[in-house]
Structure 1
Amino acid sequence: MKSVRPFRTRSRRLGTTLVAGLAVLALGACTGNEKNDDDQDLGGGTTQADSGSNDEAGDKIVIGFSAPAADHGWMASITDSAKKVADQYDDVELRVASGTNDVNLQISQVETFINDKVDAIVLLPFDGAAMTPVALKAMQAGIPVINVDREFDDPNAARVTVLGDNYGMGVSAGAYICSQIGDKSDAVVAEIAGIDSLPLTQERSQGFKDALADCGQDVDNRVAADFTVEGGEEAAANLLQAAPKIDAIWNHDDDQGVGVLAAIKNAGRDEFFMVGGAGSANAMRSIQAGDSVLQATVIYPSTQAADGIKLARLLGQQKNMSDLVEVEVPRTVQLYAPVVTKDNVDQFIDTAFES
């Protein structure tokens, strides 16, 4: 039997998450909310900007963009969203390097941007440590670097860092599961992680563990996959075989969740509910339809680079985030990790990525 511990607030970590949420609201407000006729409107643009707003056309700027290869849905959306936001601004020329998982090639891409004297660089590094020296070189050349998702080793290598909240994902998933199962002493909670050697997986798992502890629960069964459909199916099959009874599952990633749901269907299991991770469109459609055990997913925004493009434009045109008192763009923007359920899915599905 599990002992039920009294609820306690993890103030430092959860406080950071709340501040991050406010930062996102400020960013969205300062860059405009005009709608266009595109299927996916990410907000902003010079076409219908009010006079005096940050979206009003300014000096033409050139932004270099580089990211890893689009080898799964989330990463494909990173680049697609960046292009889409840039297209909404008549005063932005976006130069997109070919997506690559070759660190040396990505270094050469950034060096080309430096030689071309672009106004800013938005960079999601394949390897943050390996890309740090060339990012420092760009900063020393007077080109602001906006670092997306995977941090550099040296904070001076970026003017702005845009991050998701991996720890916060785990907290959100755990808190939601707690809200559904409460202090049920015999509840069985399972976890299907991503790649265990990655810090992001470790942070997600720690946040999940910490949030579950607040309602007297813990992780009873845990397996790790590899962020792929095949890996998710294999890991889930192993989990289901090892655990004859489960009340709730958190799967870290909706791309691998395609395989996880296939394994669950093949096993004929439906006595539990599942929470996904990252926030894919197919996961949200399933939540809308109520056609599987998937009941919720936790957002890890695939629009981080799009926010990076908007911030690069502000920096290049020497503007600030107008909803803040601060006269300069902040050094760090950490995006919130909300839980998407059937009740609020309509607010998020338009910017979700396809697995």
Structure 2
Amino acid sequence: MSPLTSRRGLLFGTAAVSAGALLAGCTSNEPSDGKQAGSAQPAASDTPGKHVTIGFAGPQADHGWLNAINDNAKSRAEKYSDVTLEITEGSNDTATQIGQIETLINKKVDVLVVLPADGKALTQVGLKAMRAGIPVVNLDRVFNTPQAYRCWIGGDNYGMGLNAGHYIGEKLKDKPNARVVELAGLDNLELTRQRTQGFDDALKNYPNIKKVARQAADFTVESGQAKMAQLLQAQPEFDALWNHDDDQGVGALRAIEQAGRDDFLMVGGAGALSAFQAIERDDSVLKATVLYPPTMAASAIDLARALGQGKGIGGLAEFEIPASITLYSAVVDKTNVDTYMPTGFR
């Protein structure tokens, strides 16, 4: 994936196992009168309520993960008879996306869901929406100030690296002088640095393991294949590979197969369907992947609907939805891949 700014937030919940599992559709175990126990305000539920028009603006779907973001938003909105989704044509040009969001503001949508092509560059239009009284759900790539959004929801890049490192560490903890390599994303992205930092911090718990090489790719199949081939040539022996992204992992696996290598284990990142299928088949070095779930877009629609209806999230005592929600980076391997298979993106 190719976000241009960092992602952040407070830890909340677990990765979704279906489009709405994280927030449970903002539903609750509410009494029959619709009120939460001990609350002055009901939580949103699947029962139709006040109609909400949600404007959705995201970048161009030039990556499997971004395409899945759009699909999750659309399918989630279709679930609700009280939601109309005004969706823009995705663009990686910041000026174009700003114009699209301003059009949605002028249409007076009730709530905006925005995955900015560049969080810094789009901060002002987020502020404009908020000042116009339109709550903004900032999806994944964060604006420069929390004044530009009512709620942020996104993934945990540091947690991805941390959980990948611990998974590999537990697999290799009894192997003397274990060696690992890393196929990173784009080094000019903060998210790449966060994933590497999490991985390195996890490995500090395993003194028998040393990271002997790191190569940066750029989240494409072609770069994954080329950079992995370089790693394999430079490192004839190692025990594990942490690959930041399942799309570039497709290319990495091609390079590994072409080199005839099967003497190490590989952990991927994001949660692509192809990775889940390879893990299920168990016929390659890929043994696990760490989630960065695109189901966050479905949860963003749930949050926007709740905001538009002036409701909270079931299961929480607070009247309002949280200001920040970070998804958990679950590790998917052969033991649980069946559970996560429906969430895999193409």
Give the TM-score normalised by structure 2.
0.90
- How many angstroms does 1:173 deviate by? 0.2
Separation in 1 of the partners of 2:294 and 2:183? 21
Instruction: Tell me the equivalent position of 1:213.
Output: 204
Instruction: Tell me the equivalent position of 2:96.
Output: 105
Separation in 1 of the partners of 2:14 and 2:219? 30
Contact 1:82–1:306 under 8 Å retained in 2: yes
Separation in 2 of the partners of 1:296 and 1:250? 10
Which structure 2 residues correspond to residues 61-140 of structure 1 after superposition, within 5 A?
61-140=52-131
- How many angstroms does 1:189 deviate by? 0.3
1:65 counterpart SS class: strand
Assess, with a 3 A threshold, how the Cα gap between structure 1 residues 96 and 210 changes in structure 2: closer, same or farther. same
Separation in 2 of the partners of 1:21 and 1:221? 34
2:13 counterpart SS class: helix
- How many angstroms does 1:164 deviate by? 0.1
Deviations 1:86-135 (A, max 9, x none): 00000000011001111001000110011010000000000000000000
Q: Which amino acid counterpart does residue 303 of structure 2 have in structure 1?
A: L
2:187 aligned with 1:193:
no
Contact 1:120–1:316 under 8 Å retained in 2: yes
2:286 aligned with 1:291:
no
Give the one of 311, 315, 333 matched to 1:323: 315
Which structure 2 residues correspond to residues 170-319 of structure 1 after superposition, within 5 A?
170-216=161-207, 217-319=209-311
Deviations 1:312-335 (A, max 9, x none): 000000110121001100000100
Separation in 2 of the partners of 1:352 and 1:32? 24
- How many angstroms does 1:21 deviate by? 2.8
- How many angstroms does 1:20 deviate by? 2.4
Separation in 2 of the partners of 1:345 and 1:328? 34
* 185-194 vs 200-209, which moves further: 185-194
Separation in 1 of the partners of 2:311 and 2:286? 43
Higher helix share: 1
Contact 1:279–1:301 under 8 Å retained in 2: yes
Aligned residues: 322
Q: Which amino acid counterpart does residue 67 of structure 1 have in structure 2?
A: G
- How many angstroms does 1:23 deviate by? 9.6
Contiguous gaps of at least 5 residues in structure 2: 1-8, 35-43
2:211 counterpart SS class: coil
Assess, with a 3 A threshold, how the Cα gap between structure 1 residues 115 and 82 changes in structure 2: closer, same or farther. same
Q: Which amino acid counterpart does residue 144 of structure 1 have in structure 2?
A: P
2:160 aligned with 1:169:
yes
Q: Which amino acid counterpart does residue 134 of structure 1 have in structure 2?
A: V
Contact 2:110–2:308 under 8 Å retained in 1: yes
- How many angstroms does 1:305 deviate by? 1.5
Instruction: Tell me the equivalent position of 1:147.
Output: 138
Instruction: Tell me the equivalent position of 2:41.
Output: none
1:347 counterpart SS class: helix
- How many angstroms does 1:22 deviate by? 6.0
Separation in 2 of the partners of 1:87 and 1:273? 40
1:219 counterpart SS class: strand
Instruction: Tell me the equivalent position of 1:3.
Output: none
Instruction: Tell me the equivalent position of 1:42.
Output: none
Separation in 2 of the partners of 1:299 and 1:306? 16
Separation in 1 of the partners of 2:47 and 2:227? 50
Q: Which amino acid counterpart does residue 207 of structure 1 have in structure 2?
A: G
Assess, with a 3 A threshold, how the Cα gap between structure 1 residues 301 and 71 changes in structure 2: closer, same or farther. same
Give the TM-score normalised by structure 1.
0.88
Q: Which amino acid counterpart does residue 63 of structure 2 have in structure 1?
A: H
- How many angstroms does 1:32 deviate by? 4.5
- How many angstroms does 1:26 deviate by? 8.8
Contact 2:25–2:299 under 8 Å retained in 1: no
Separation in 2 of the partners of 1:313 and 1:348? 25
Contiguous gaps of at least 5 residues in structure 1: 1-15, 34-49
- How many angstroms does 1:215 deviate by? 1.3
Instruction: Tell me the equivalent position of 2:26.
Output: 31
Relative contact order (alpha carbons < 8 A, sep ≥ 6): 1 or 2 greater? 2
Separation in 1 of the partners of 2:168 and 2:257? 21
Deviations 1:49-86 (A, max 9, x none): x8836221011110000111111110000000000000
Separation in 2 of the partners of 1:138 and 1:174? 40
Give the one of 307, 322, 327 matched to 1:335: 327
- How many angstroms does 1:218 deviate by? 3.3
Contact 1:193–1:224 under 8 Å retained in 2: yes
Instruction: Tell me the equivalent position of 1:39.
Output: none
* 213-222 vs 265-274, which moves further: 213-222
